[in-house]
Structure 1
Amino acid sequence: MVKFNLDFRIKVVTEYFSGYGSTALAKSYGVAKEDVILNWVHNFELRSVEGLEPCRMDLNYSSNR
């Protein structure tokens, strides 16, 4: 389950670049830690919007050993 969708992440990162601090944004939007927002900003700087897309986990495991 993804807690924060792509549109939400884009909105928060955009506000960060508009001058709002990560602490204020975290409190305003109910993000547990400001580090999460800083991580989104870092990923955006590295890979643009693709960096904000939620990671997909492959939960299919091979039974072959």
Structure 2
Amino acid sequence: MPRWFKSSYSSNGGQCIEVAANLVGSLGVVPVRDSKNVSGPVLSASAASFAAFVAGVKAGEFGAV
């Protein structure tokens, strides 16, 4: 069962995602969903892909939001 959480860096401005990192060990995936639509679709990224995405965000590769 996924345990969803939002980043502590989220300022609750409505543009947030939630992740369920507890499934990395058992399934090797990081489920991601829109925090405004918790019953909506879930994207499952591989752990490596999600780590690369987070590294890209931290490095500013995606520009300002």
Whether the TM-score (by the shorter chain) exceeds 0.5 is: no
TM-score, structure 2 as length reference = 0.30
More strand by share: 2
TM-score, structure 1 as length reference = 0.30
Structure with greater contact order relative to length (CA < 8 Å, sep ≥ 6):
1
**Higher-Rg member (1/2):** 1
